[in-house]
Amino acid sequence: MGIRKEVLFKIKPVDLANKTKFKKVSEYFGENTFNAGAMKKVLSQGTFSAFNRWLSEGKVITLEQANEIATAMKNWAIAKGASYYTHWFQPMTGLTAEKHDSFISFIGPGKVIEKFSGSKLIQGEPDASSFPSGGVRSTFEARGYTAWDPSSPAFIIESKLGKTLCIPTIFVSYHGEALDKKLPLLRSDDALNRSALNLLHLFGHKGVKKVFSTCGPEQEYFLIDKNYYNLRQDLVMTGRTLVGAPSPKGQQMEDQYFGSIKERVINFMFEVAEEAYKLGIPVMTRHNEVAPHQYEFAPIFEESNLAADHNQLLMELMKKIALRHDMVCLLHEKPFAGINGSGKHVNWSLSDDQGNNLLNPGQTPEQNLQFLAVLVAVLRAVYKHSDLLRAAVAHSGNEHRLGANEAPPAIMSVFLGEQLTKILGMLENGVKASGSKQGVIDLGIGKLPKFNQDTTDRNRTSPFAFTGNKFEFRAVGSSQNISTPIMIINTIIAESLDYVAEKIKAASRGKDFNAAVLKVVSEVAKETKDIRFEGNNYSQEWLKEAKKRKLPNVASTAEALKALTKKENIELFEKYKVLSKEEIVSRYHIWVEMYCKLIEIEANTLNEMVNSSVVPPGLEYEELVADNLTKIIALKKQTGLKLEAKAIEDRKAHLSGVVSIIYYVRHNTREMMELMHKSEHLSPEKKAELFFEKIKPYMEHIRKHVDALECVVSDEHWDLPKYREMLFIK
Ligand code: ADP
Ligand code: MG
């Protein structure tokens, strides 16, 4: 029996007998987090207040207070069964990292107690030399420090034989440069806070003390049976299939999206949600996505920093829990060719400490005006810095997805919806709204329609779409850490909020404030008009139109990343104290290198697969066909078997077909590998260029021939699980 067939018999329902019974979520939500509620119970009043002041006003706590928190945290964790703790951080790999230490401490020969001090809580010192730093930290200065991020609660990760206390931290070099993704995000929220407060104060909101970004990331993913996964070197090594013929049925029946969720998958979803709730992750929505075996989870939005931590944790939970259900969770942007890939729509908005969403149109004329000021600031940010937004989503996996008829193209544009487009159009043209129909508000300086949030007004092809009271950045890849896209959005919008605020200040000097705001809104709307697009972003017309508007359309990752090294962009990040020149340039180098390494792994995996799993079954089948032909011809000679010449020709053609496909597969693979060898001495930038322009097309070409072979070779000989199995067998 072929190895693939064996898998068929291995697939059986997972034993769910020892899974927990139903509990009300409100009774256990966040039970594994040392959150405000847990802290309040165990800390002295003074320390608890000091901690809260640290969060709201940035006034750092004393070492004594840190000691008190550390001891309380340790006692809380031990009471829950934890024996180890770790600083949990997000290095530039895009994943999370942890180095575990036990709580034990000697108190005499052979005698230990559990101990945890404030200094250990506040700072850790993992050896940083094995994390990418892009040259920020030379190896002889291998120290890296993790420092406690009090804004994200510590949490406990459970495994069958033990529990670990995880303390969210930032990761910095000896000189304080960011070596991670979290510190820049925190800094960008600070920048956004300053700029947004500046604008809000102009509008008279003196009471607002803090503004922060909010985020709700919709996470798409695939689930496939573990047994099939393990038979595919490409999925194991690269997260995507490098070969594989499309199955006759793909997503064309449109029967998966929002379809009823299969039992095996819903059990997985229940368990993910339960584990997520324990960690305080507010998972909310779950459904089938467009492609077969594709799904989505979306949480209730939170402060960006928390949302980013939670999304990282959620991805880890999904991978871990899928295995418990004998499935593998694929987070790659394009695991299967020919059907939809996975994205992570990052919903983004701004909120103040009084619970107001600054992108909420509002009820009064004043609120509407302020909303319009913030809105045009967003428009300007995307208009001016679309190159940075593109860089924010530039990585190898996303290269397969952007513009592939399922995700927005690499051209950044903003969708606003009919109503807002009309309003901005009126303002730009200096036309005042006529009449005072219902829903039209008299500003005393012209009339503005009352906005209503039209949730049906959606454009699912737009990379940056306004969806009623938030923007949805739809170009982010499913495997990405969202910290970087949010950090970039925060920074470019901080700058534009300042720009708008300065313009309003200048225009309102000695003039009516409302009139001045409207004037500025119209000017900025006009200046940035080219970034707005309401049509179908997948269409050819848009490609042409965007070119006319001179909007960048960068397909290659390495090319897109160059935006990070532009002088004006470095100045922007430095001005807003989000990244220093050294930090941003190092990021550029890390990401270009990472791109090269990923393509290298893909090319080497493809080479190995061709040699070990594609050509051998091809040859076996070729032999079968050749033997068969020899035998038939021999029989004809020996016994005078009557054979139509056409039938013999057909067999011969079949055999030559197989021989030539194998030739093309081998020939192209050899050429690709020769090119790979030649590339060894190139700089990462040159390598990335070569990989994009030459190696990737080779890989596509090889795939085409391999897939043709898959379609002729007998099922019995072909050991690689097929699309029709991986994507359809439940
Ligand atoms: P859709 O698929 O229609 O875009 P979903 O309900 O799947 O919508 O996801 C919308 C996401 O946007 C949710 O995670 C939601 O919490 C988030 N969201 C809603 N309001 C805000 C906001 N003000 N800021 C950030 N995210 C938000
Ligand atoms: Mg959704």
Contacts of 138 (CB under 8 A, 6+ apart): none
- Tokens standing for residue 200: 């809000």
CB distance 713 to 617 below 8 Å: yes
Q: What is the mean pLDDT of residues 220-232?
A: 95
- In a shared domain, residues 331 and 298: yes
Instruction: Write down the pLDDT at residue 434.
Output: 39
- Please, what is the angle between helix 182-202 and helix 365-384, to 10°? 140
- Say whether pLDDT at 407 is over 70: no
- 588 is a domain residue: no
pLDDT confidence tier of residue 51, bands split at 50, 70 and 90? very high
581-609 and 567-575 helices, crossing angle to 10°: 120
CB atoms near residue 210 (< 10 Å): 15
Considering the domain architecture, whether residues 443 and 562 belong to the same structural domain is answered as: yes
pLDDT class of 319 with cuts at 50, 70, 90: very high
Average pLDDT over residues 247-265: 80
The predicted pLDDT at position 239 comes to 98
Confidence grade of residue 138 (pLDDT, cut at 50, 70, 90): low
Last residue of a domain, one of 314, 342, 370: 342
pLDDT digits (tens, 9 = 90+) for 535-571: 999 888 999 999 999 999 998 999 999 999 999 999 9
- Shared domain check, 309 and 245: yes
Reported as a pLDDT band with limits 50, 70 and 90, residue 440 is very low
Pocket flag, ligand 1, residue 698 (CB < 6 Å): no
* Residue 589 included in any domain: no
Residue 396: its pLDDT value, please?
A: 94
Residue 580 vs residues 178, 388, 496, 586, 639: alpha-carbon distances, Å? 9, 16, 20, 10, 85
Contact 340, 406 (CB under 8 A): yes
Q: 424 and 552 in one domain?
A: yes
Whether the CB of 473 sits within 6 Å of ligand 1: no
Closest ligand 1 atom to residue 359 Cα is 23
pLDDT tens for each residue of 262-274: 888 999 999 999 9
Phi, psi of 128, deg, nearest 5? -95, -5
Confidence of residue 450 (pLDDT cuts 50, 70, 90): low
In terms of residue numbers, what domain contains 696? Answer: 594-726
pLDDT attached to residue 651 = 95
If asked whether residues 51 and 170 sit together in one domain, one would say yes
Give me the chain's average pLDDT, please.
91
Query: Which of 470, 473, 489 for a ligand 1 pocket mutation test, highest count of atoms within 8 Å of Cβ?
Result: 470
For range 313-321, the mean pLDDT: 97
Q: In this structure, are residues 467 and 458 in contact, taking their beta carbons and an 8 Å threshold?
A: yes
Whole-angstrom CA distances from 612 to 1, 515, 594, 606, 718 are: 19, 72, 27, 10, 11
570 shares a domain with 449:
yes
Q: Is residue 45 part of a domain?
A: yes
- Segment 359-370 shows an average pLDDT of 81
Listed residues 546, 579, 612: the one ending a domain: 579
- How many CB atoms are located within 10 Å of the residue 484 CB? 24
Per-residue pLDDT band for 59 (boundaries 50, 70, 90) equals confident
Q: Are 347 and 216 in contact (CB under 8 A)?
A: yes
Please state the rounded mean pLDDT for residues 624-645. Answer: 94
Task: Categorise residue 529: left if φ over 0, alpha if ψ from -120 to 50, beta otherwise.
Answer: alpha
Instruction: Show Cβ contacts of residue 553 under 8 Å, excluding neighbours closer than 6 positions.
Output: 409, 410, 411, 543, 546, 547
**Higher-confidence residue: 368 or 445?**
368
**CA nearest ligand 1 atom 14, residue:** 216
Domain identity same for 616 and 543: no
When pLDDT is cut at 50, 70 and 90, the band that residue 437 belongs to is very low
Q: Is residue 485 part of a domain?
A: yes
Domain boundary among the residues 342, 373, 399 is at 342
Share of the chain above pLDDT 90, in %: 72
Q: According to the model, what pLDDT value does residue 15 have? A: 77
Mutate to test the pocket of ligand 1, among 347, 415, 454, 464 (most ligand atoms within 8 A of CB): 347
Residue 433 pLDDT grade (very low, low, confident, very high; cuts 50, 70, 90) = very low
624 and 658 housed in the same domain? yes
Ligand showing the shortest atom-to-Cα distance for residue 465: 1
Confidence (pLDDT) at 256 = 74
For residue 387 and ligand 1, the question of a CB distance below 6 A is answered with no
Q: Is 361 in the pocket of ligand 1 (CB under 6 A)?
A: no
Inside any domain, residue 608: yes
Report the separation in Å between the CA atom of 463 and the middle of ligand 2, taken as the mean of its atom positions.
Answer: 14
Average pLDDT over residues 687-715: 97
Cβ burial, residue 85 (10 Å; 0-12/13-18/19+): buried
Q: How confident is the model at residue 410 (pLDDT cuts 50, 70, 90)?
A: confident
Shared-domain flag, residues 605 and 654: yes
Question: Residue 172 domain-assigned?
Answer: yes
Q: Is residue 587 part of a domain?
A: no
449 and 439 Cβ atoms separated by less than 8 Å: yes
Domain tally for the chain?
4
Q: Specify whether the CB–CB gap between 473 and 346 falls below 8 A.
A: yes
% of the chain at pLDDT higher than 70: 93
C-alpha distances (whole Å) from 605 to each of 234, 523, 577, 613 are 6, 54, 41, 11
pLDDT digits (tens, 9 = 90+) for 712-727: 999 989 999 999 999 9
Confidence category of residue 320, pLDDT binned at 50, 70, 90:
very high
Instruction: Kindly tell me if the per-residue pLDDT of 47 is higher than 60.
Output: yes
Flag the least confident range among 23-37, 116-130, 592-606.
Answer: 116-130
For the segment 78-109, what is each residue's pLDDT rounded down to a tens digit?
999 999 999 999 998 888 988 888 999 999 99
**pLDDT-based confidence at residue 215 (cuts at 50, 70, 90):** very high
* Mean predicted confidence (pLDDT) in 392-421: 85
Q: How far is the CA of 453 from the centre of ligand 1 (A)?
A: 14
Residues 334 and 357 occupy one common structural domain: no
Kindly state whether residues 499 and 532 are assigned to the same domain: yes
Higher pLDDT, 2 or 662: 662
Q: What is the pLDDT of residue 438?
A: 42
For the chain, helix, strand, coil in percent to 5 are: 50, 15, 35
Residue 66 has what pLDDT? 93
Separation of alpha carbons 718 and 725, rounded Å = 13
For ligand 2, the distance from its centroid to the CA atom of residue 345, given in whole angstroms, is 8
Of 483, 478, 463, 484, give the one whose Cα is nearest residue 561.
Answer: 484
- CA 572 distance to own-chain centroid: 24
72-76, 375-379, 426-430, 454-458: least confidently modelled range: 454-458
The answer on 452 and 313 residing in a single domain is: no
For residue 462, give the 3-state DSSP assignment: coil
pLDDT tens-digit series, residues 187-212: 999 999 999 999 999 999 999 999 99
pLDDT at 453 over 60: no
Q: For residue 351, which atom of ligand 1 is closest to its CA?
A: 23
Bridge partners, residue 100, by sequence: 86
pLDDT tops 60 at residue 143: yes
Is residue 219 lining ligand 1, measured as CB closer than 6 Å? no
Cα distances from 71 to residues 116, 119, 163, 392, in angstroms, run 6, 11, 17, 40
CATH code, 652:
1.20.120.1560
The predicted structure's pLDDT at residue 451 = 62
Please report which confidence band the pLDDT of residue 431 belongs to, taking 50, 70 and 90 as the band edges: low
Q: Residue 306's pLDDT band (boundaries 50, 70, 90)?
A: very high
Distance CA 121, CA 149 (A): 10
Query: What per-residue confidence (pLDDT) applies to 689?
Result: 97
Q: What is the CATH number of the domain that holds 50?
A: 3.10.20.70
Does the C-beta of 282 come closer than 6 Å to ligand 1? no
Give domain status of residue 200, yes or no.
yes
Residue 418 has pLDDT above 90, yes or no: no
